[in-house]
C-alpha cells in the first residue's frame, strides 16, 4: 500500500519547525509586515541556534564517516531534501517573508550545488556546515533580461595579468542580496556572460563573496508582500573575483551543446520545489483560518454530501482544500524525484506553476469568505494574499513554467515553442 505520510524522523523535526512558526513567526508577522525591511531578529536568533546545532551534528557525522569532513558518497535516496522541503512548507505557514530571512545559503547554496565542482562545493559550502549559519543569494535577473535569462548582458572578462574575473553589469530583484553581502561570510552567485557572441554557451555563474570591491547595492525594493525579506538591485563596476570563483568549467561551448547554461538551469530544478512548498504553506495557513472562523459560525463541510447539496461556501472550502492538497502532492513528487537523483525538470515546473496559482486562489478566497474582517488587519488573511502572489512570479513565472511543461510533454525545443 502506498503511503503519503511523512517518515517519523521528518515528523519529529517538523515539530520544532511548527513550534518556531507558532511561537516566533506568527506573533511577529504583522509587526514585520508593517515595518518593512526591519530584521526579524527574534526569528533569526532562534534559527541561528537551530541551524548551528544541525550543522554541528551533520559535520561531526561526516567526520566519523570519512575522517576529514568531506561529503561521503551517498547510498540510496537523499531524504534530507524531503525534510528540507517539508520544513519550508511549515515555516512559510508561519510567515513566508520571515522564512526567506533564514540564515542559510538558500538560492545561493542551490546554485552552488547544481553547478560547482566537488572541490568548489567543499570550498564554498563546507564553511556553512562547519561554522555559523550564513546567508546566500542568487543574482540572475537583469533590467533587460527577465524571464529570458539567455539575454543577459552582465559580462565577466578574465584579466590574465591578475588571473581574476572582472564583472560589470546590473542585477535586479535579488532575494536576500543585502543579507548575503552585508553579513559575515555571505555569498551571492552571479550569472554573467564570458562571451556575448556565444549566446547561452557563454553564460557562467560566479561566486561573489562579501566585501568584494566594485559591488554595491543600487536599490532596495518596496514590495506588495513578503515585506520583511530584502529584495535589492546590485551594481557591478569592475568587480574582481578570483579565477577559481567561476562555477564549473570556464570553457565556452556551442549553444546547442553547452552544458554550462543547462547546468545552471538545474538550480531552478532544485529551487522551484522549495518555492512551491512555500506557496503551499501560505495556502494552508489561509485555508485553516477560513475553516476555523467559518466553523465558529457553524459552517463546516460535510464530505458525505453531494456537491449539489452543499452551500456555495462549502463548495468553496472543498475547492480550496482540493487545490492545496493537489499542489502539495505535485511538490512532493518533484522532491522525491530529486531525492532519488532523477531529473525533475517537468515535475518541478508543474509543481511551481500549480502551487503559485493555488496560493493566489486560496488566499483570495479566504479573504472573500471572511468578509470585511478578511480585508482588515484583524486577521493575517489579507497579508497572506499579498505574500502569496510572489510565488506566481519568482523562480520563473507561471507562464514560463507552463512553457517548460508543454515543451517537455510535446517534445518541442525552445525555438519551436515560445
For the record, the C-alpha cell of 376 comes out as: 482588515
pLDDT digits (tens, 9 = 90+) for 312-356: 999 999 999 999 999 999 999 999 999 999 999 999 999 999 999
Most confident of 179-188, 240-249, 290-299, 392-401: 290-299
Mean pLDDT calculated for residue range 372-380: 97
pLDDT at 393: 94
Mean pLDDT calculated for residue range 226-237: 97
pLDDT at 264: 60
Task: Classify 136-247 by CATH class.
Answer: mainly beta
Asked if residue 149 has pLDDT above 90, the reply is: no
Look at the domain 8-130 and name its fold.
Answer: Butyryl-Coa Dehydrogenase, subunit A; domain 1 (1.10.540)
Asked if residue 145 has pLDDT above 80, the reply is: no
* Annotated domain spans of the chain: 8-130, 136-247, 260-410
Mean pLDDT calculated for residue range 296-313: 94
d(CA 273, CA 330) in angstroms, rounded, equals: 9
User: From the CB of residue 377, how many other CB atoms can be counted at a distance below 10 Å?
Assistant: 12
pLDDT at 129: 55
For residues 396 and 227, which has the higher predicted lDDT (pLDDT)? 227
For residues 48 and 369, which has the higher predicted lDDT (pLDDT)? 369
| Residues 6+ away with beta carbon under 8 Å from 32 | 38, 40, 95, 97, 98, 227, 228
Each as own residue / partner, the long-range contacts of residues 33-41 (CB below 8 Å, 24 or more positions apart, any chain) are 33/97, 33/227, 33/228, 33/383, 36/222, 36/223, 36/227, 36/228, 37/220, 37/227, 37/228, 37/230, 38/228, 39/101, 40/98, 40/101, 40/228
pLDDT digits (tens, 9 = 90+) for 167-179: 999 999 999 999 9
pLDDT at 182: 85
Least confident range from 22-31, 50-59, 82-91, 138-147: namely: 50-59
Q: Is 357 a catalytic residue?
A: no
For residues 262 and 16, which has the higher predicted lDDT (pLDDT)? 16
Which CATH number among 1.20.140.10, 3.40.630.40, 3.40.930.10, 3.30.1220.10 corresponds to the domain 260-410?
Answer: 1.20.140.10
Asked if residue 257 has pLDDT above 50, the reply is: no
pLDDT at 267: 84
| CB-facing half-sphere around the CA of 151: CA atoms within 13 A | 8
pLDDT at 415: 85
Percent of the chain with pLDDT over 90: 68
Q: Mean of the per-residue pLDDT values for the chain?
A: 89
Q: Which of 132, 142, 395, 416 is catalytic?
A: 395
Percent of the chain with pLDDT over 70: 89
Amino acid at each position: 500500500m502506498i503511503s503519503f505520510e511523512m517518515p517519523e524522523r521528518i515528523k519529529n523535526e517538523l515539530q520544532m519547525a511548527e513550534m518556531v512558526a507558532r511561537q516566533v513567526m506568527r506573533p511577529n508577522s504583522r509587526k514585520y509586515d508593517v515595518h518593512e525591511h526591519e530584521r526579524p531578529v527574534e526569528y533569526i536568533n532562534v534559527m541561528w541556534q537551530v541551524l548551528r546545532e544541525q550543522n554541528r551534528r551533520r559535520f561531526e557525522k561526516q567526520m566519523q564517516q570519512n575522517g576529514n569532513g568531506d561529503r561521503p558518497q551517498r547510498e540510496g535516496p537523499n531524504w534530507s531534501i524531503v525534510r528540507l522541503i517539508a520544513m519550508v512548507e511549515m515555516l512559510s505557514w508561519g510567515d513566508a517573508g520571515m522564512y526567506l530571512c533564514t540564515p542559510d545559503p538558500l538560492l545561493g547554496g542551490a546554485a552552488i550545488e547544481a553547478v560547482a565542482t566537488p572541490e568548489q562545493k567543499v570550498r564554498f559550502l563546507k564553511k556553512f556546515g562547519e561554522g555559523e549559519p550564513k546567508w546566500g543569494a542568487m543574482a540572475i535577473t537583469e533590467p533587460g533580461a527577465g524571464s529570458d535569462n539567455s539575454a543577459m548582458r552582465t559580462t565577466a572578462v578574465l584579466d590574465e595579468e591578475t588571473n581574476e574575473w572582472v564583472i560589470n553589469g546590473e542585477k535586479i530583484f535579488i532575494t536576500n542580496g543585502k543579507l548575503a553581502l552585508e553579513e559575515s561570510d555571505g555569498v551571492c552567485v552571479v550569472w554573467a556572460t564570458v562571451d556575448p557572441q556565444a549566446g547561452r554557451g557563454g553564460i557562467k555563474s560566479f561566486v561573489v563573496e562579501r566585501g568584494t570591491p566594485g559591488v554595491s547595492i543600487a536599490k532596495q525594493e518596496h514590495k506588495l508582500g513578503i515585506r520583511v525579506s530584502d529584495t535589492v538591485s546590485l551594481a557591478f563596476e569592475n568587480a574582481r573575483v578570483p579565477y577559481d570563483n567561476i562555477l564549473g568549467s570556464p570553457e565556452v561551448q556551442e549553444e546547442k551543446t553547452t552544458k554550462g547554461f543547462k547546468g545552471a538551469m538545474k538550480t531552478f530544478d532544485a529551487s522551484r520545489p522549495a518555492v512551491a512548498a512555500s506557496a503551499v504553506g501560505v495556502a494552508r495557513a489561509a485555508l485553516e483560518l477560513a475553516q476555523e472562523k467559518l466553523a465558529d459560525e457553524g459552517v463546516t463541510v460535510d464530505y458525505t454530501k453531494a456537491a449539489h447539496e452543499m452551500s456555495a461556501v462549502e463548495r468553496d472550502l472543498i475547492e480550496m482544500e482540493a487545490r492545496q492538497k493537489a499542489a502539495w502532492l505535485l511538490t512532493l513528487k518533484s522532491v522525491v524525484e530529486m531525492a532519488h537523483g532523477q531529473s525533475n525538470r517537468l515535475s518541478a515546473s508543474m509543481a511551481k506553476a500549480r502551487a503559485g496559482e493555488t496560493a493566489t486562489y486560496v488566499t483570495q478566497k479566504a479573504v472573500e469568505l471572511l468578509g470585511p474582517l478578511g480585508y482588515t488587519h484583524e486577521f493575517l488573511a489579507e497579508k497572506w494574499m499579498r505574500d502569496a502572489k510572489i510565488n506566481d512570479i519568482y523562480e520563473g513565472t507561471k507562464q514560463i513554467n507552463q512553457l517548460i511543461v508543454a515543451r517537455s510533454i510535446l517534445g518541442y525545443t525552445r525555438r519551436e515553442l515560445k
